[in-house]
């Protein structure tokens, strides 16, 4: 029941002490629930991220902590700020001498209403994944259940949490009920003493007893057997068949339940009184006791062997699930996962961190499927430790899984990383961040097979795609907020309640981490949003809804996206490939050209005017040919291998301008614009037909001809350039040889006015 304020009685030294809580704002409710005990929770509940004022009976106070702050005016009042803490909050009550005299427990609820179910489901699935990894290291038949109860308390509770998630699963409980309602039976044969008159069938043993058994009765004279037997026994032993549930398979099920209960009992004895974890263990013990108290199990004896290869255990519904759970239980008791301390150490239940761990396994499954990564690549997730087999997954610790994607046309290196740090202190072209250290939750890195990651970074050949887990996001409106007023956003920033920080974090990853092509939020919702930077799947930003659910968790949308990423990488002519090449070519030189001259602005027809990539052909003309050049808008130069012929390279073929000079001229302003995409080949006879001057030499059969026009750019009108200062210029007779320079080089020899 939700209240605006809550009075909590505390029994201290037979005194009636009351703690009163008040929610500071609307929506910061206080709740007393009835099903708290069966869920292992405190009955008085508050919400994470909210703020509560408190007042306790005068003469008493609450011990200050990161969550509890006392008033400077009155020690008996103050503020409780649970922040992101979720779980049972134990607060010490102090007397007037500041000594502990009692304790109050508050349950901090998650803002997600489904956090109970989510917590159980995710922990169960993580347990399954961990046991699958363990099975890669050893066969299940070689495992023996053995737990060191002198181990570290956190490790013990981590193991108990794993096992609890298995035993509280819906599948486990359904399986036990199926076995109880329809157990496997067999016919059992036994001997009973029966009145001879009620025996309907006589076997060899019964016939022998007619002559040898005692306690005999004399047969009457009219009996058909009188001439052979004088008497018969009144009772004989006969075989009897009865249906029984005392089968090897049912013995195994009972043994499994007893093993589960024994573990919980032993675990409970190691815990202190009034401990939330002890209550959880007690509830689990009671649930197992309800199963074992059923009449079916009272008839079943203890097993002498475990029939693990029984077809019934391996195939029959209900039994196969119990066998699987027993194997998981055995392995889970051996698993050491120090990352679990972040989730449920002590009384804490951090569902957001658990969601982050759960997503790691979900993403790992999807990436293994999409990129066909061999399962051997995941074996490194498990390592031998001094206290068992350890899962290396831990928040803040870098954990990579590598593989190779092979298709018919391309091989790619794949690295899926958890907590990969991109350093902010590495200069370009090294990988990393532009500014400060950044560490996305998950990073998918893709680069060509055959080179190391460092080389791929230097040559702009690697692509990073980042994902961040955000359990507390409710819906896409929270992330994108399309209709939010920008003035309201400013106010939210001032208050520290900015709603769209998560999507801005994705922008940070996308823009700050070098070679990043995508950054996406993963949250437990129902909608997805995918924003493409251009018309290709990468670069992009967005959010995918991945919810803890066995039926439809939303992972299909993410899988579809990653399949599109694969198709994108198979396209060797993608725009992203072109951009990466241009980036590499532009930035591989540490020194850039310096050009501070008046040039045409690069828009419209001049959009592609980049001085370093705009080439000018420096060419010689005869004075007697000038009028023909101007009249026809054509300029020709010899083709072939003779001296004076134009050697046609990329710069000469792609020249956008031609600067003409004549004999004895080193400073010229005769700049023309090339109208076609390059020169055409004319024969000598073709030039003669268009009235070219008669000085064409007969030994020159072919000419390269440019179609030109006088440049009309204001920035070039009236300019002259000293071509003798250009690197390709040759003195004497060599001055007539054509050569090409960039517009940057040409503008550096421009005559100053």
User: Of 113, 65, 73, 80, which is closest to residue 8 (Cα–Cα)?
Assistant: 80
User: Of 665, 674, 752, which is closest to residue 711 (Cα–Cα)?
Assistant: 674
Q: What's the gap between Cα 183 and its chain centre?
A: 42
Q: What are phi and psi of 128, to 5 degrees?
A: -60, -45
ω into 643 cis (within 30 of 0): no
Higher pLDDT, 374 or 444: 444
Q: Is the pLDDT of residue 469 over 70?
A: yes
Higher pLDDT, 141 or 86: 86
Helices (H), 153-247: 153-167, 170-181, 204-212
User: Of 35, 48, 165, 52, which is closest to residue 113 (Cα–Cα)?
Assistant: 48
Of 175-189, 316-330, 386-400, 705-719, which range is least confident? 386-400
Confidence of residue 375 (pLDDT cuts 50, 70, 90): low
pLDDT at residue number 558: 94
What are 157-170's pLDDT values in tens digits?
777 777 787 788 88
Q: Is the pLDDT of residue 457 over 90?
A: yes
| Average pLDDT of every residue of the chain | 84
Rounded mean pLDDT, 402-427 = 94
Residue 675 tokens read as 């109208």
Task: Write the DSSP symbol of residue 742.
Answer: E
Which neighbouring-strand residues pair with 2?
A: 31
Confidence of residue 56 (pLDDT cuts 50, 70, 90): very high
Confidence of residue 135 (pLDDT cuts 50, 70, 90): low
Residue 200 tokens read as 């309907």
462 contacts: CB under 8 Å, gap ≥ 6: 431, 445, 446, 447, 453, 456, 515
Q: Is the pLDDT of residue 26 over 90?
A: no
pLDDT at residue number 49: 81
pLDDT at residue number 445: 98
Confidence of residue 525 (pLDDT cuts 50, 70, 90): confident
Of 101-105, 372-376, 513-517, 733-737, which range is least confident? 372-376
Give me the torsion for CA of 153, 155, 161, 162, rounded to 10°.
-160
pTM, two decimal places? 0.77
- Answer for the pair 385, 394: CB distance below 8 angstroms, yes or no: no
- Angstrom CA distances, 228 to 216, 223, 225, 392, stand at 15, 10, 5, 86
- Answer for the pair 305, 236: CB distance below 8 angstroms, yes or no: no
Residue 590 tokens read as 């540490």
- Answer for the pair 32, 44: CB distance below 8 angstroms, yes or no: yes
* Spatial separation of the C-alpha atoms in residues 750 and 601, rounded to whole Å: 18
pLDDT at residue number 347: 60
Rounded mean pLDDT, 631-657 = 89
Give me the torsion for CA of 709, 710, 712, 713, rounded to 10°.
100
Task: Write the DSSP symbol of residue 197.
Answer: G
667 contacts: CB under 8 Å, gap ≥ 6: 720, 721, 722, 723, 751
Q: Is the pLDDT of residue 140 over 50?
A: no
Report the percent of the chain where pLDDT is more than 70. 86
- Per-state percent for the chain, helix, strand, coil, to nearest 5: 35, 25, 40
- Angstrom CA distances, 644 to 304, 586, 695, 700, 730, stand at 103, 34, 15, 11, 12
pLDDT at residue number 394: 81
Higher pLDDT, 84 or 620: 620
Q: Is the pLDDT of residue 257 over 80?
A: yes
Q: Per mean pLDDT, which of 19-23, 94-98, 746-750 is the most reliable?
A: 746-750
Domains in the chain (CATH in brackets) are: 2-109 (2.60.40), 144-183+247-333 (no CATH), 186-244 (no CATH), 411-581 (no CATH), 604-747 (3.10.590)
Q: Is the pLDDT of residue 193 over 60?
A: yes
pLDDT at residue number 35: 67
User: Of 738, 740, 678, which is closest to residue 706 (Cα–Cα)?
Assistant: 678
Q: Is the pLDDT of residue 512 over 90?
A: yes
* Spatial separation of the C-alpha atoms in residues 41 and 346, rounded to whole Å: 13
């Amino acid at each position: 029941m939700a209240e605006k304020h809550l009075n909590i009685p505390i029994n201290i030294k037979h005194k009636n002490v009351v703690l009163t809580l008040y929610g500071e704002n609307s929506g910061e409710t206080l709740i007393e629930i009835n099903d708290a005990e069966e869920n292992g929770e405190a009955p008085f509940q508050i919400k994470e991220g909210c703020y509560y004022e408190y007042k306790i009976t005068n003469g008493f106070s609450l011990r200050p902590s990161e969550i509890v702050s006392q008033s400077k005016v009155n020690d008996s009042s103050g503020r409780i700020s649970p922040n992101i803490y979720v779980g049972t909050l134990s607060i010490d009550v102090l007397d007037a001498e500041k000594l502990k005299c009692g304790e109050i427990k508050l349950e901090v609820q998650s803002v997600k209403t489904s956090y109970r179910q989510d917590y159980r489901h995710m922990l169960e699935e993580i347990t399954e994944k961990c046991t699958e990894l363990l099975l890669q290291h050893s066969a299940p038949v070689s495992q023996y259940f053995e737990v060191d109860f002198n181990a570290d308390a956190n490790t013990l509770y981590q193991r108990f949490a794993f096992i609890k998630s298995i035993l509280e699963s819906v599948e486990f409980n359904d399986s036990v009920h199926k076995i109880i309602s329809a157990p496997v039976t067999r016919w059992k044969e036994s001997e009973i003493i029966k009145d001879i008159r009620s025996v309907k069938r006589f076997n060899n043993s019964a016939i022998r007893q007619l002559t040898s058994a005692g306690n005999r009765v004399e047969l009457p004279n009219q009996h058909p057997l009188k001439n052979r037997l004088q008497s018969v026994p009144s009772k004989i032993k006969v075989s009897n068949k009865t249906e029984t549930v005392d089968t090897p398979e049912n013995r195994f099920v009972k043994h499994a339940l007893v093993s589960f209960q024994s573990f919980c009992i032993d675990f409970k004895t190691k815990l202190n009184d009034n401990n939330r974890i002890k209550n959880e263990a007690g509830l689990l013990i009671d649930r197992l006791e309800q199963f074992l108290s059923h009449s079916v199990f009272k008839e079943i004896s203890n097993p002498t062997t475990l029939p693990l290869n029984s077809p019934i255990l391996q195939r029959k519904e209900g039994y196969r699930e119990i066998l699987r759970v027993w194997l998981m239980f055995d392995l889970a008791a051996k698993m050491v996962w120090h990352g679990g301390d972040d989730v449920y150490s002590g009384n804490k239940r951090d569902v957001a961190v658990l969601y982050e761990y759960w997503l790691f396994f979900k993403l790992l499954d999807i990436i293994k499927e999409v990129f066909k990564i061999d399962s051997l690549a995941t074996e490194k997730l498990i390592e031998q430790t001094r206290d068992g087999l350890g899962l290396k997954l831990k928040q803040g610790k870098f954990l990579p899984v590598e593989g190779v994607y092979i298709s018919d046309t391309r091989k790619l290196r794949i690295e899926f990383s958890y907590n990969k740090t991109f350093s902010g202190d590495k200069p370009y072209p090294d990988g990393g961040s532009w500014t400060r250290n950044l560490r996305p939750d998950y990073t998918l890195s893709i680069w060509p097979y055959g080179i190391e990651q460092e080389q791929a970074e230097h040559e702009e050949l690697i692509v990073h795609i980042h994902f961040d887990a955000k359990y507390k996001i409710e819906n896409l409106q929270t992330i994108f907020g399309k209709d939010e007023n920008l003035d309201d956003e400013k106010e939210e920033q001032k208050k520290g309640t900015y709603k769209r920080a998560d999507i801005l974090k994705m922008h940070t990853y996308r823009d700050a981490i070098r070679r990043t092509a995508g950054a996406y939020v993963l949250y437990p919702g129902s909608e997805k949003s995918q924003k493409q930077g251009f018309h290709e799947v990468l670069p992009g930003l967005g959010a995918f809804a991945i919810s803890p659910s066995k039926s439809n968790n939303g992972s299909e949308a993410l899988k579809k996206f990653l399949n599109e990423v694969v198709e994108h990488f198979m396209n060797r002519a993608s725009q992203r490939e072109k951009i990466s090449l241009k980036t590499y070519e532009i930035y591989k030189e540490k020194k850039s050209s310096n050009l501070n001259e008046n040039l045409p602005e690069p828009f419209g027809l001049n959009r592609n005017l980049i001085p370093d990539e705009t080439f000018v052909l420096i060419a010689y003309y005869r004075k007697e040919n000038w009028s023909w050049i101007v009249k026809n808008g054509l300029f020709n130069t010899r083709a072939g291998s003779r001296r004076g012929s134009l050697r046609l390279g990329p710069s000469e073929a792609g020249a956008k301008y031609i600067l003409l000079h004549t004999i004895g001229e080193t400073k010229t302003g005769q700049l023309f614009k090339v109208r076609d995409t390059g020169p055409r080949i004319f024969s000598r006879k073709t030039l003669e037909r268009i009235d070219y001057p008669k000085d064409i030499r007969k030994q020159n059969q072919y000419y390269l001809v440019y179609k030109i026009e006088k440049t009309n750019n204001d920035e070039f009108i009236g300019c002259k350039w000293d071509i003798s200062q250009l690197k390709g210029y040759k003195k004497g007779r060599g001055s007539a040889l054509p050569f090409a320079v960039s517009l940057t080089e040409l503008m550096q020899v421009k005559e100053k006015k």
